[in-house]
């Protein structure tokens, strides 16, 4: 107890110390228009150009930062961006190489165009030429747009040079150290949380429901397991995001590595979107399972009352839970696939239209499967049988091991797994619905005292029912029907014993054992197969027909 409390105290104290340290260091950093260690990344960084228009907008970058944007035809835009960035890189190298050099960015009108120039010392280089269509596309005046770009280029070059200064690099190195410390402390905290979550998850998965465990407790255990699985996966995602975010933040601190950050973001944007959709689908599936388990627990606590109904309701709830869980999982996965395709730039409208046509063709080609699904739905809805029941279907029978919308799987007495399409199930005999009955035929010899035999059969049944071992399995007192038939072996006495579901065979076997011992003690013979042969003597002159 003390050791556990000490671990929690150390963990919380470390986190508090870490937060105070970051707060003090951030206060020591001169405040700027924006935090210097945060990259200038907007949603546009992760966004694909999905428009059908012929024009597009893109950033001209220096050291990975967006200096200004250009709007142009899609076919011309990449080449224009590349040319402009090469000019900026060329002039910036000259500007960075000299300590005290004059920088001048200006525009010059030439006809109906605006030329942007950068002058460093005695060197002058044109950066970009703006035409009236550049301003028209944005809905602004050409001179106004040119002046905006002049200001942005001037600010971008001065900031890029300032970021290469020694004081700034020292400052960014400190921030990188803080980020590394934060990632390591976060890793320690998450590793501890993952370890504890894994231990709880493994314990819940290893716990098997016992016969003494209530159904509500079993459902509550499944609900806890789903919550732990969800928590475990979320911690794994947070752990991955912590390291990825830390790497990207450190790369964004220095102008020499910021381009690598942009390259990594561009590289992982498609996998990142797919991973985000996959995580959302996983969370929705787990939340659906938790909601289903909570609903089942409510039903088990409020509506399952009597012993006769309890076991049947357990079986039915288990079957319906599997079915609803499968349907919800398929629904969320299908929705996730469509969302992922949309996010990575596919137009899903033709896909949905094609899926409708394929679905119509598939419905004609798979009529048997559709029949299976409908019949399986009504089997579950009408509670004809469920997982755990013993049924007879046609010439086969056995324990229902699996039931879904398409097939029913039985395990017979020889251990064979029998798979039956639901559409082929016309008539079914359920041997374990609510209660069962042991029907026992007892052959009594003709020479025995039948009244004494009937009395003894009833006494054996009453004695067996009073014993605690069999009292829970026998629902009602055994009913001796009397002499049901005459056979070549003797009189046939029939007895009915109403039992709990699936207990009729064990009860019948024990009853036969006890009855045989009782008959032997009271000298009442059981009927056996016997034949009588009559022999007659004929004289030698008797004529036999041919």
- Buried-exposed string 250-273: b where 16+ CB fall within 10 A, e elsewhere: bbbbbbeebeebbeebeeebeeeb
Give pLDDT, residue 39: 42
Residue 357 has which token pair? 């046509």
Give pLDDT, residue 456: 92
Q: What is the mean pLDDT of residues 424-435?
A: 87
Rounded Cα distance, 341 and 489, in Å: 77
**Looking at 291-295, 347-351, 484-488, 542-546, which range is the least confident one?**
542-546
Residue 298 has pLDDT above 80, yes or no: no
Interacting residues of 237 by C-beta distance below 8 A, sequence separation 6+: 279
Q: What angle do CA 70, 55, 274 make, to 5 degrees?
A: 90
pLDDT in tens, 169-220: 898 899 989 989 988 998 888 888 888 877 776 776 666 554 434 545 555 6
Contact status, residue 429 vs residue 410, Cβ threshold 8 Å: no
| Locus of tokens 């990632």 | 183
The listed range with the strongest mean pLDDT (63-77, 215-229, 366-380, 510-524) is 510-524
pLDDT in tens, 246-259: 888 888 888 888 88
Give pLDDT, residue 263: 83
What is the rounded average pLDDT for all residues in the chain? 78
Rounded Cα distance, 251 and 253, in Å: 6
Give pLDDT, residue 51: 46
Residue 93 has pLDDT above 80, yes or no: yes
Share of the chain above pLDDT 90, in %: 9
Neighbour count for residue 447 (Cβ, 10 Å): 10
Distances in whole angstroms, Cα of residue 423 to Cα of each of 293, 367, 380:
30, 10, 13
Rounded Cα distance, 204 and 199, in Å: 9
Give pLDDT, residue 410: 94
Residue 521 has which token pair? 């003690």
Higher-confidence position of 2 and 298: 298
Q: What is the mean pLDDT of residues 81-89?
A: 88
pLDDT in tens, 472-481: 888 888 889 8
Tell me the longest C-alpha to C-alpha distance in the chain.
157
Contact status, residue 310 vs residue 211, Cβ threshold 8 Å: no
Q: Is the sign of the CA dihedral 161, 166, 170, 176 positive or negative?
A: positive
Residue 433 has which token pair? 């619905």
């Amino acid at each position: 107890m003390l050791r556990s409390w000490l671990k929690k105290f150390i963990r919380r104290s470390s986190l508090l110390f870490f937060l105070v340290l970051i707060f003090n260091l951030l206060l020591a950093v001169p405040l700027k228009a924006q935090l210097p260690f945060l990259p200038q990344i907007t949603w546009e960084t992760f966004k694909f150009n999905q428009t059908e228009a012929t024009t597009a907008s893109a950033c001209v970058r220096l050291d990975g930062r967006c200096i200004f944007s250009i709007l142009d035809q899609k076919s011309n835009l990449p080449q224009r961006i590349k040319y402009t960035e090469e000019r900026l890189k060329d002039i910036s190298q000259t500007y960075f190489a000299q300590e005290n050099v004059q920088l001048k960015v200006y525009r010059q009108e030439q006809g109906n165009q605006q030329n942007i120039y950068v002058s460093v010392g005695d060197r002058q280089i044109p950066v970009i030429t703006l035409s009236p269509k550049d301003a028209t596309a944005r809905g602004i005046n050409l001179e106004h747009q040119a002046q905006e770009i002049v200001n942005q280029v001037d600010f971008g070059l001065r900031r890029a040079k300032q970021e290469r200064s020694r004081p700034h690099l020292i400052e960014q190195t400190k921030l990188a150290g803080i980020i590394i410390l934060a990632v390591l402390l976060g890793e320690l905290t998450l590793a501890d949380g993952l370890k504890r979550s894994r231990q709880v998850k493994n314990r819940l998965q290893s716990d098997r429901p016992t016969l003494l465990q209530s159904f509500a407790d079993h459902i509550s255990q499944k609900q806890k397991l789903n919550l732990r699985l969800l928590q475990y996966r979320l911690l794994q995602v947070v752990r991955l995001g912590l390291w990825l975010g830390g790497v990207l933040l450190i790369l964004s601190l220095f102008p020499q590595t910021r381009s690598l950050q942009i390259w990594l973001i561009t590289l992982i944007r498609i996998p990142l979107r797919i991973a985000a959709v996959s995580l959302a689908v996983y969370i929705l599936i787990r939340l659906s399972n938790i909601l289903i388990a909570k609903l089942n627990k409510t039903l088990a606590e409020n509506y399952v009352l009597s012993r006769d109904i309890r076991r049947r309701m357990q079986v039915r709830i288990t079957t319906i839970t599997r079915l609803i869980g499968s349907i919800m999982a398929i629904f969320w996965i299908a929705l996730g696939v469509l969302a992922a395709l949309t996010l990575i730039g596919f137009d899903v409208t033709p896909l949905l239209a094609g899926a409708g046509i394929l679905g119509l063709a598939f419905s004609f080609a798979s009529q048997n499967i559709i029949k299976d699904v409908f019949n399986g739905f009504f089997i579950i809805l009408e509670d004809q049988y469920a997982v755990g029941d013993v049924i007879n279907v046609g010439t086969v029978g056995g324990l229902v091991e699996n039931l879904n919308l398409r097939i029913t799987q039985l395990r017979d007495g020889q251990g064979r797994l029998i798979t039956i399409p639901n559409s082929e199930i016309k008539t079914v005999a359920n041997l374990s619905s609510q209660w069962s009955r042991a029907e026992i035929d007892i052959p009594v010899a003709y020479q025995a005292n039948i009244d004494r035999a009937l009395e003894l059969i009833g006494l054996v049944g009453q004695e067996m029912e009073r014993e605690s071992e069999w009292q829970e399995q026998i629902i009602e007192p055994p009913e001796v029907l009397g002499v049901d038939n005459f056979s070549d072996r003797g009189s046939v006495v029939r007895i009915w014993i109403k039992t709990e579901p699936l207990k009729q065979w064990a009860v019948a076997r024990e009853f036969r054992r006890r009855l045989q011992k009782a008959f032997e003690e009271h000298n009442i013979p059981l009927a056996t197969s016997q034949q009588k042969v009559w022999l007659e003597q004929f004289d030698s002159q008797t004529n036999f027909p041919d």
